[in-house]
Amino acid sequence: MDRTILVIDDEPDILTVVSLRLRKLGYRVLTAAHGKQGLDIIRREKPDLVLLDLVMPIMNGAEVCWHVRNDAAVKHIPIILFTASRSTIVTEETLRTLGVNDYIIKPFEPEEFVGKVERVLAQGAQI
């Protein structure tokens, strides 16, 4: 069975690059351009992993995390948070508060990205 990863980001270039990289590694990839669309896909498709941008229109990443972690049907799904700002302080407390498994600062190195995706998929949600 193919593992499915949902990428939620409002930047089309990020969606394209990340999707291509993940497909090349053999993953089934779904994409969403904003949080509301992403949340709908999470509930419908129940992906194995969500890669989630923090700052987006309509519904931001923190709101998506809250909805996922408070929905018994999908709360087990691991989430890796994307953030574009190095000034955004992502601490262990922030990760716990949002219920995410890890984070990646954009732009990211491909090796770091792949390593985190594989590690989080192997570990599961562990929230």
Domains contained in the chain, number: 1
Please write the tens of the pLDDT for every residue from 67-89. Answer: 999 999 999 999 999 877 655 55
Question: What is the Cα–Cα distance from 74 to 20, expressed in whole angstroms?
Answer: 25
Q: Which domain, by its residues, includes 101?
A: 4-123
Question: What CATH number does the domain containing 56 carry?
Answer: 3.40.50.2300
Q: Is-contact 82 106, C-beta < 8 A?
A: yes
35 phi, psi to nearest 5 deg: -60, -40
5 phi, psi to nearest 5 deg: -120, 130
Q: Which amino acid is at 127?
A: I
Check residue 92 and give its pLDDT.
Answer: 67
Predicted TM-score of the model (pTM): 0.90
Tokens (6 digits) for 18: 């990340």
Tokens (6 digits) for 6: 């949902």
Please write the tens of the pLDDT for every residue from 89-116. Answer: 566 677 678 888 888 888 788 888 899 9
Please write the tens of the pLDDT for every residue from 15-51. Answer: 999 999 999 999 999 999 999 999 999 999 999 999 9
